[in-house]
Amino acid sequence: MPKLCKAGQQLREQIDDDYPDRDRKSDGWIADARHMAKGTSDHIPQDGIVRALDIDADLNAHKEEAYALVEKIRKCAKRGDKRIKYIIYDGKIMSPIMNWRRRKYRGANPHRSHFHISFTTLGDKDGSWFDLEGDRNERIQTDGGKLGENIPRDGSSDIPSGGLGSRRNCKCGASISLA
C-alpha cells in the first residue's frame, strides 16, 4: 500500500490546521491507473512512496489566499528546506532552477484548481515542521523553538485513504516534468 511521504503528510496537516474549512475537492496525492500508465510523475509511487501532493486552491478564503500560501511554501523552499522539490500553480513553476523564481509552466495542465508540490527523497521520512512563516529564528529566541514543532506521532499519520476527506487521486492529469 503506497504512502504519501512524511513531508507531504506534514505539509498537508499544517495547511489543514491553517484552513480547517478549505475545499478539498481538488486535493490528491496518488496517481490513478490511467495516469500511472503515462509514466513520469511524482504522484506515481516509487518504492511505495508518493512524493507529490495536490492542494485545492479554494482555501475557503479570499482568492489571493492560495497565492499567499504558495508564496509561503516557495519562500520556505528558498530559505533552504530541501524537502521541497518544486511547486506548480496557476501556470507557473517554482524550483531551484533560477533560485525559486516563478517561471512559465508549459505542462498540459496549468494547475489553476489546485497547486502541486513535489518532494525530494529527503522528505520520505522527514516529517518535521515546515517553517512557512519564516519565524523559526524568532521562535528559537523566545521558546527554544519548541512551540509548534512537530508533535511525535504513533505512526497513525500514515494516511492510506488520503485523510480528512481529501481526494485520493491527483488531478494533475498528464505527467509532470520539469521540462
Among 13, 54, 56, 131, binds Zn ion (CB under 5 A): 54
**Measured from the CB atom, is 46 or 141 closer to Zn ion?**
46
Q: How many residues bind Zn ion (CB under 5 A)?
A: 4
Nearer Cβ to Zn ion (3/116): 116
Question: What is d(CA 156, CA 119) in angstroms, rounded to the nearest whole number?
Answer: 21
Residue 73 engages Zn ion in binding (rule: CB under 5 A): no
Helix, strand, or coil (residue 119): strand
Using the rule CB under 5 A, is 170 a contact of Zn ion? Answer: yes
Q: Which residues of 64-92 are buried (b: 16+ CB within 10 A; e: fewer)?
A: ebbeebbbbbbbbbeeebebbbbbbbeeb
Name residue 123's beta-bridge partners: none
Q: Considering the complex, what minimum distance in angstroms separates the CB of residue 143 from Zn ion?
A: 35
Is 24 or 116 the residue whose CB approaches Zn ion more closely?
116
The answer to whether 31 contacts Zn ion (rule: CB under 5 A) is no
Q: Applying CB under 5 A, which part among 14-22, 61-69, 111-119, 141-149 lies near Zn ion?
A: 111-119
Q: How far apart are CA 75 and CA 102, in angstroms?
A: 11
Nearest residue (CB) to Zn ion, 72 versus 116: 116
Is residue 30 involved in binding Zn ion (CB under 5 A)?
no
**Is 172 an interacting residue with respect to Zn ion (CB under 5 A)?**
yes
Q: E strand or H helix at 103, and its extent?
A: strand 102-104
Residue with grid cell 494516511, as numbered in its chain:
159
Q: Quickly tell me which residue has 503506497 as its cell.
A: 2
Enumerate binding residues for Zn ion (CB under 5 A): 54, 116, 170, 172
